[in-house]
Amino acid sequence: MFTRSLRNSNTLRLAQAIRLNSTSPNSTPVVASVEVPETVKKITDLTQNGKQLISGAPEELSISGNRLVKIYKESKYATQNGTRNSKFWRLEWDILGKGNRWENDLTGYQSTADYMQASRLSFSEKEQAVKFAESNGWDYYVVEPKTKKFVKKEYSSNFVHSKGPLKYIFTK
């Protein structure tokens, strides 16, 4: 799509404007002066990163500074014994603060205009997620996982005598 628009443009015929003199062994390219439109100048100013140009993402997502990316490691589910959920680092976009949520009248569900909110990427290491965010030119912050100190308890500690009045357990 982008290359097609460049081919159709009358002012961007740089390929036709550059001609090589093939008769002399020390040929240098001769460049004719071609007027470059403002839209192309704007694109070349923004292309600090080549991925931003070819990704097809809207400007509010591709230009650094507008959206924050959160990199975190999910914690283990409290109701499960497995640790599969806590092996990967996640990269997801923060929720927009412009109030882009509303209640859907038909179903009563929450709706949103932010299509990037439901997207998340998984990485095996934190450095991979940080490198990916930097290569796309996104601002990011990293939430480090909290380490839980495990204290080993003995079964017999449930029956240890403590001085004082008896402890009542109210069930209702």
Half-sphere exposure of 117 (CA within 13 A, CB side): 12
Contact, 75 vs 89, CB < 8 A?
no
* Range 49-144 classified under CATH 3.30.160: yes
Please tell me whether the overall predicted TM-score, pTM, comes out greater than 0.85 for this model: no
Q: Which residue intervals of the chain bear CATH 3.30.160? A: 49-144
* Residue 155 DSSP label: G
User: Lowest mean pLDDT: which of 5-14, 66-75, 119-128, 150-159?
Assistant: 5-14
Q: Give the model confidence (pLDDT) of 35-67 as tens digits.
A: 766 655 555 554 455 666 666 666 655 555 567
Query: For the chain, what is the radius of gyration of the CA atoms?
Result: 30
In the predicted model, is pLDDT for residue 91 greater than 90?
yes
26-31: long-range pairs with CB below 8 Å, 24+: none
User: Lowest mean pLDDT: which of 36-40, 99-103, 113-117, 164-168?
Assistant: 36-40
Q: Give the model confidence (pLDDT) of 3-26 as tens digits.
A: 444 444 544 444 444 444 444 555
Structure confidence at residue 19 (pLDDT): 43
